[in-house]
Amino acid sequence: MNTQKQTALITGASSGIGAATARKLAAEGIRVGLAARRVDRLHGLRDEIEAAGGEALVIEMDVTDEASVSAGVGRLVEAYGTVDILFNNAGLMPVSDIDSLKTTEWHRMVDVNIKGVLNTTAAVLPYMKKQHSGHILNTSSIAGRKVFKGFTVYCATKFAVAAFSDGLRMELGAKHGIRVTCVQPGAVESELFEHISDTNYASAMENLKNETTFLKAADIANAVWYAVQQPPHVNVAEVFILPTDQEW
């Protein structure tokens, strides 16, 4: 697959999997739109990518805000003329028991993890339909395949992403030539644990790092690249990637 001069939009690009994937795709010759709210980090990432010979555009974007998403996608297309790849990666994981009634956290997860994916997908689809090609990758999780105590609402959002991804694949593939990949990581080193306000679960997740060799963000970036570089007639529908010693 010729990826030269292709353009990718990556949400949640300011850290973790998003930043690592931006580095990987840029190193492979893809122009990357770096989308997140923390633009200071994006500027640093852009400078790093450009110093290595890649191309990157900083896009301040709140995926929960349709107007912000639309404006950001418009900026990317204005700069590069197209959007060929969308990596819906922005997400939150504030774990807690349901009876703790942290409803503000629930709604925030739904807004970012589900509505954010819907908003960004809706913004790029017209461009992909027009060119009759494209690739949408959505970050779900092992929590989109099985439910874990304390992760109930997070799991619900990631099950939704998995279902949405499969429906997109069925609706967009033959009709519009658009591929869809659902990326489902297991334990990965990231900032997700920083969103956990419940002290018991925060401690438990930190202890888990001593029991399991977590994946690195770059491992997920490599998996994304594997899916992206396949020829147009090949759709890697799911990438379920775990640490070798993750038993759960």
Mean pLDDT of the chain: 94
| 248 domain residue, yes or no | no
How far is C-alpha 162 from the chain's CA centre? Answer: 12
Angle (nearest 5°) at CA 220 between 241 and 81:
130
With a cut of 80, say whether residue 67 has pLDDT above it.
yes
What was the pLDDT predicted at 9?
98
More confident residue, 58 or 191: 58
pLDDT of residue 209: 76
**Which token pair is 182?**
């659902």
- Using the predicted structure, report yes or no on whether residue 234 has a pLDDT greater than 80: yes
Give residue for tokens 């490599």.
222
User: Is 127 annotated as catalytic?
Assistant: no
Q: Is residue 151 part of a domain?
A: yes
Cα–Cα dist 231/226, whole Å: 11
Cβ contacts of 88 within 8 Å, gap of 6 or more: 11, 116, 117, 120, 121, 136, 137, 138, 139, 161
Identify the active-site residue in 127, 154, 201, 226.
154
Q: Which residues of 125-148 are buried (b: 16+ CB within 10 A; e: fewer)?
A: bebbeeeeebbbbbbbbbbbbeee
CATH number of the domain enclosing 68 = 3.40.50.720
- For residue 101, the enclosing domain spans 7-241
Task: Report the 10 Å Cβ neighbour count for 40.
Answer: 9
Mean pLDDT of 7-28: 97
> Minimal CA–CA distance to 141: which of 19, 246, 41, 38?
246
pLDDT at 200: 72
pLDDT digits 0-9 by tens, 68-126: 999 999 999 999 999 999 999 999 999 999 999 999 999 999 999 999 999 999 999 99
91, 112 Cβ separation under 8 angstroms: yes
pLDDT for 46: 98
- Report yes or no on 125 lying in a domain: yes
Q: How confident is the model at residue 247 (pLDDT cuts 50, 70, 90)?
A: confident
Q: How many domains does the chain have?
A: 1
How high is the pLDDT of residue 199?
Answer: 73
- Give the pLDDT confidence score for residue 193 in this predicted structure: 64
pLDDT digits (tens, 9 = 90+) for 149-207: 999 999 999 999 999 999 999 999 999 999 999 999 999 987 666 667 767 767 766 77
Determine, yes or no, domain membership for 246: no
CA-closest candidate to residue 54, choices 28, 90, 86, 19: 28
| Residue 21 neighbours by CB distance under 10 Å | 30
Q: How confident is the model at residue 4 (pLDDT cuts 50, 70, 90)?
A: low
pTM of structure: 0.93
- The answer to the question of residue 247 being in a domain is no
Q: Is residue 37 part of a domain?
A: yes
What pLDDT does residue 201 have? 67
Cα 209 vs. chain centroid, distance in angstroms?
A: 22
